[in-house]
Structure 1
């Protein structure tokens, strides 16, 4: 992986933040861990995965230049 920072509104490395793996083109999200049992019960999360909550404002950082998301 070659991870690059795309954007975030908090500074100091806090959440939320958006990164991109330049080799695969995948986006990586840093957000707030969802731990509420009633929220988690509504989703089927496989072992080895976790869920993070991300404010809608973070998606302002997604590139809009290409259909595949590559700026």
Structure 2
């Protein structure tokens, strides 16, 4: 997988996150804060091999708007 940097949280410190990347597989990779809230994790029912991260609304600027 080849990653292309798209944008970093404008309010993060130099070594912080979140960060958004575009891949060469027509997917997105989001670096964010690990979700540890047991109730939230249980509600999502995340299958083995997957995970979730949290990002703030201000990161949406890095996702293109499409009609799809």
Q: TM-score range by the shorter chain?
A: 0.7 to 0.9
Aligned residues: 66
Tell me what 1:20 maps to: 22
Deviation of 1:12 after TM superposition, in Å, equals 2.3
Deviation at 1:8, TM superposition (A): 1.3
Q: Runs of at least 4 residues of structure 1 off by over 3 A?
A: none
Residues 13, 6 of structure 1: alpha-carbon distance in 2 compared, 3 angstrom cutoff:
farther
- Alpha-carbon offset, residue 20 of structure 1: 0.6
**Unaligned stretches of 5+ in structure 2?**
none
Q: Which residue of 2 aligns with 1:4?
A: 4
Gaps (5+ residues) in structure 1?
A: none
**1:38-57 equivalent positions in 2, closer than 5 A:** 38-57=39-58
